[in-house]
């Protein structure tokens, strides 16, 4: 009986450790996949990308809304802070920043920023230039910025398209 | 030698169980969260830094890059009014009124968490189009049909090829009361209109 109990303990302990390891690492792993997809395999980092209107063919991020115009920027702070700008909006617009562990570390919408958004993301030990209105401290070197603009119709998407193209994501 | 082989085998079995159970956990992400009100499942912690590891993993799996509660409330439903899974071959009617938010939408997602592939370009209803298309009556009530064919519906969401699907309600810039107490929200109601007796 004793060896059987010992065997069971080994199986259960291993199962618990592996189970927890998968659960705990899932956010980081899934963010890494998203980072790759939103940066064209790492070729388009620290720049805004503008995917076309969401359709049934959209497969970059789970559960996309067909009523929003998304823009994104996969950021990498290894060479310094990154500046993000978003033009003002006449309807719902928000800019949110996600760290590499999937945490939503910052969000702002058009009501809080009626003149548009202008922010600087800094990593550990980095400092934003004096006078920067909004400084977002990223706990991780990499992450993703996502801009959403309300665009439930083709016409609304066309005007959101003009506004989002004024956006900026670039190293300081 | 035999002991080492046995140990290896046991560790392998344990690792397999751990992996399978973790993935099973993650794949149940259709219903993120813990509070169900009128068939809609929401969570007070989704997208929050303080969420527990399971919620965090589930959100990453089925709602990566989602917004926080202050910005948006997300609710998901996978069952009809009788608690049965939503089916692509059935016809449902979604009825509601004004939602406690600046803007709202209801979107259909297939079991893989993406929009169903059917060429119909009818994946959602939202506050703006409902006002224009669904002709809300005097009290601001609206109805949207969820079905595999449009039929006579003025406003519909196509469930064609969606399998056992989910409906996600998004409330953008929700009112404080709605955020604090999901029970205060007058959720859209879902009614089954017709359903083939044998699932297609």
Rounded-to-integer distance, Cα A114 and Cα A39, Å:
29
Read off the DSSP letter of residue A133: S
Q: What angle do CA B58, B62, B67 make, to 5 degrees?
A: 95
CATH of residue B42's domain is: 2.60.120.600
What is the pLDDT of chain A when averaged over all its residues? Answer: 93
Asked whether the beta carbons of A74 and A97 are under 8 A apart, the reply is no
Asked whether the beta carbons of B18 and A23 are under 8 A apart, the reply is no
Query: Which chain B residues have a beta carbon less than 8 Å from that of A103?
Result: 49
Is A10 in contact with B15 (Cβ distance < 8 A)? no
Looking at residue B64, its pLDDT comes to 82
Q: Determine contact: A64 vs chain B, CB below 8 A.
A: yes
Rounded-to-integer distance, Cα B193 and Cα B149, Å:
13
Looking at residue B134, its pLDDT comes to 60
Number of domains in chain A: 1
Nearest by CB: B13 against A11, A54, A107: A11
- Distance, C-alpha B141 to centroid of its chain: 22
Answer whether residue B30 shows pLDDT above 60. no
Report the gap between the CA of B168 and the closest CA in chain A (Å): 9
Residues paired with residue B41 on neighbouring β-strands, in sequence order: B36, B76
ipTM field = 0.78
Q: Determine contact: A40 vs chain B, CB below 8 A.
A: no
CATH of residue A118's domain is: 2.60.40
For residue B71, give the nearest of A10, A63, A12, A97 by alpha carbon: A97
Rounded-to-integer distance, Cα A84 and Cα A106, Å:
12
Mean pLDDT of B76-95: 95
Q: How many pairs of residues across A and B have Cβ atoms under 8 Å apart?
A: 165
Report the gap between the CA of B38 and the closest CA in chain A (Å): 22
Number of domains in chain B: 1
Question: Which of A 73-102 lie inside 8 A of B, CB atoms?
Answer: 91-92, 94, 96, 98, 102
Is A67 in contact with B66 (Cβ distance < 8 A)? no
Range of the structural domain that residue A78 is part of:
1-172
Answer whether residue A149 shows pLDDT above 70. yes
Read off the DSSP letter of residue A123: -
Looking at residue B9, its pLDDT comes to 93
CB atoms near residue A56 (< 10 Å):
19
Q: Determine contact: B99 vs chain A, CB below 8 A.
A: no
Answer whether residue A163 shows pLDDT above 50. yes
Q: Determine contact: A154 vs chain B, CB below 8 A.
A: no
Report the gap between the CA of B36 and the closest CA in chain A (Å): 20
CA atoms within 13 A on the CB side of B42: 21
Mean pLDDT of A142-153: 94
> Is B199 within a domain?
no
Query: Which chain A residues have a beta carbon less than 8 Å from that of B114?
Result: 56, 58-59, 62-64
pLDDT tens track for B186-196: 999 999 999 98
Pairing of strands A93-99, A104-109: antiparallel
- Distance, C-alpha A142 to centroid of its chain: 9
**B65 burial type by CB count under 10 A (0-12 exposed, 13-18 middle, 19+ buried):** buried
What is the pLDDT of chain B when averaged over all its residues? Answer: 87
Answer whether residue B114 shows pLDDT above 60. yes
> Is B200 within a domain?
no
For residue B67, give the nearest of A54, A49, A163, A92 by alpha carbon: A92
Range of the structural domain that residue B25 is part of:
2-194
Query: Which chain A residues have a beta carbon less than 8 Å from that of B59?
Result: 27, 102
In SS3 terms, B103-169 reads as: EEEEEEECCCCCCCCCCCCCCEEEHHHHHHHCCCCCCCCEEEEEECCCCCCCCEEECCCCCCCEEEE
């Amino acid at each position: 009986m004793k060896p059987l109990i010992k065997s069971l303990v080994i199986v259960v302990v291993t199962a618990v450790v592996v189970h927890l390891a998968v659960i705990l690492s899932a956010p980081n792993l899934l963010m890494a996949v998203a980072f790759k997809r939103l940066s064209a395999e790492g070729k388009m980092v620290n720049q805004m990308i503008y995917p076309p209107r969401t359709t049934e063919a959209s497969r970059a991020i789970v559960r996309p809304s067909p009523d929003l115009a998304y823009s994104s920027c996969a950021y990498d702070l290894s060479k310094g802070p990154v500046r993000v700008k978003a033009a003002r909006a006449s309807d719902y617009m928000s800019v949110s920043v996600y760290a590499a562990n999937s945490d939503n570390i910052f969000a702002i919408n058009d009501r809080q920023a009626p003149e548009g958004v202008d922010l600087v993301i800094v990593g550990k030990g980095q400092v934003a230039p004096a006078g920067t209105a909004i400084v977002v401290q990223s706990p991780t070197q990499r992450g993703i910025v996502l801009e959403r603009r309300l665009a439930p119709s083709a016409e609304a998407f066309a005007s959101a398209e003009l506004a989002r193209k004024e956006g900026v994501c670039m190293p300081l | 030698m035999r002991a080492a082989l046995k140990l290896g085998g046991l560790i392998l079995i344990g690792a397999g169980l751990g992996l399978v159970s973790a993935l099973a956990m993650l794949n149940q992400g259709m219903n993120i969260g813990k509070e169900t009100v009128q068939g809609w499942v929401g969570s007070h912690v989704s997208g929050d830094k303080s969420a527990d590891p399971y919620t965090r993993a589930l959100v990453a799996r089925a709602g990566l890059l989602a917004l926080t509660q202050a910005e948006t409330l997300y609710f998901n439903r996978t069952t009809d009014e009788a608690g049965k899974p939503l089916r692509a071959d059935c016809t449902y009617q979604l009825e509601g009124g004004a939602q406690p938010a600046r803007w709202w939408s209801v979107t259909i997602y297939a079991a893989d968490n993406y929009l169903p592939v059917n060429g119909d370009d009818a994946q959602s209803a939202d506050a703006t189009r409902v006002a224009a298309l669904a002709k809300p009556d005097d009290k601001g009530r609206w109805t949207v049909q969820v079905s595999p064919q449009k039929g006579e519906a003025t406003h519909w969401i196509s469930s064609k090829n969606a399998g056992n699907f989910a409906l996600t309600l998004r409330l953008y810039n929700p009112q404080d009361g709605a955020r604090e107490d999901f029970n205060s929200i007058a959720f859209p109601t879902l009614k089954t209109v017709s359903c083939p007796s044998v699932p297609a």
